[in-house]
Amino acid sequence: MMKARTFIISVFTVLMIASCTTEYEKLLRGNDIPTKYAKAFELYEEGKYSKAAEMFESISLATKGTAQEDTVQFYWAMSNYRYKDFITAESNFNEFITVFPLSPFIEQARFYYIDCLYKSTYRYELDQTPTYRALNELNRYMSLYPDSKYIIECTLMKDDLEERLDKKAFEAAHLYYHMEDYLAAHYALKNVLKEDAENRYREDILYFVAMAAYKYADNSVASKKHERYLSFVDDYYNFVSEYPESKHRRELDSIYERVNRIVKRTD
């Protein structure tokens, strides 16, 4: 008896689901635009974003040139965004920005477009082309909407992306140090700061600049050591003048004292 009741309930449930699915698909394929418009928003509010996106897409052509066009296009994009289909949403928002620059949804569309770009960026070891693209859009948005309600999110995204670029530049130059090519490391690390003096890894970069100069000098032939030790001394003074309380200070002080004794003997 229990099994029969369970079977009946299961069949009833399947039939109800099939009925609902058929009703949705029937409406989706139909031409009742006002009903589809209302249903699309109903699905969106219920969190059924995949179906909402389908419904908004299905009426996008029918509402073209009407007062509802930008609303449909915006919520089609938002449905894809909420469904976490960020690639499609990015395309939707990009088109929206181009076609509806005066829409009341334009500020939101620009923000969510940027957020899609941000979500498509890679960790610092990989290609940073998407990062530069997202940063360009962020800078433009923050210039256009300095009082936007999304300004905090934009600031956090920008900070994260800039940190990624700083880390990539530092690690690329630091790689020469790991490879014990100290001359190349010295040049590459200094070049990082030449291109971006505000790199947030500046302290570590200046530390490795000094260490690379020291190791390059220490591994040189005797006739070249004096001149190259002096290069380390310059880098040492640059470091301690900027970071007198650095965690690297004790190590560099010790090396400086050794180098200073050697330089004085060879003067």
From residue 122, alpha-carbon distances to 82, 160, 190 in Å are 21, 11, 26
User: What pLDDT does residue 2 have?
Assistant: 46
**What does the pLDDT read at residue 22?**
77
Q: Which CATH architecture has domain 18-104?
A: Alpha Horseshoe (1.25)
10-residue block means of pLDDT along the chain (267 residues)?
Answer: 51 51 84 92 96 96 95 98 97 98 98 97 92 97 97 98 97 97 98 97 98 96 92 97 97 96 79
What pLDDT, on a 0 to 100 scale, did the predictor assign at position 31? Answer: 83
Rg of the chain over all Cα atoms, to the nearest angstrom = 31
- Structure-token pair, residue 170: 């530092």
The torsion defined by the Cα of 65, 68, 69 and 74, in degrees rounded to 10, comes to 170
pLDDT value of residue 16? 55
Instruction: List the domain boundaries for the chain.
Output: 18-104
Q: What is the model's pTM?
A: 0.83
